[in-house]
Amino acid sequence: MIRKEVVNCWIRIFGVASIITAMLLLANSAHCQPVTTKPQTNSLGVVQYNDNPYIYEAVQTIAEVTEVDGNLNMRVKPVGTYMLYDDIVLLCGMPTDKFNGIQEPFLMTYERKSHRMARGVACHDLLRVDSIVPNERIK
């Protein structure tokens, strides 16, 4: 038969091991990061992001312009690329008024994230179009 001292020793060892295990489990669960479902606001109340939400495309020439379900589809030749390279950009709506008075080359700024689809292709909101004017002082 087992003596009382041996049983008491095993009970103490089991109790200490249980406490250590519980402490380690609590420490591990406290280390996990909380998950939030809504964006956290900052103290200034302004939009804050880590990735640029816009795409800036410097266009040398416009190769083709078509209309796809009421959206502007443009095939453009970017600045600094070889002659046969082109980009195709589908812009939401018909923002042709933003191109008034703009000469080639120009800079298009549109949102990276698409908000709508046209025939299964994402269309982007055009924010602005700026002419690229060479600086005469730099030669």
pTM exceeding the 0.75 threshold for the entire prediction: no
User: How crowded is residue 29: how many other Cβ atoms within 10 Å of its Cβ?
Assistant: 8
Domain boundaries, the chain: 1-33, 54-131
Structure tokens at 66: 């078509």
For residues 15 and 116, give the distance between their C-alpha atoms in angstroms, rounded to a whole number. 61
Instruction: Evaluate whether 65 touches 94 at the Cβ level (below 8 Å).
Output: no
Give the residues across from 58 on adjacent strands: 107
Identify the burial level of 47 via C-beta atoms within 10 angstroms of its C-beta, where 0-12 means exposed, 13-18 middle and 19 or more buried: exposed
pLDDT tens per residue across all 139 residues of the chain: 678 888 888 889 999 999 999 998 887 776 665 555 556 666 776 777 778 899 999 999 999 999 999 999 999 999 988 888 999 999 999 999 999 999 999 999 999 999 889 889 999 999 999 999 877 776 5
For residues 72 and 123, give the distance between their C-alpha atoms in angstroms, rounded to a whole number. 9
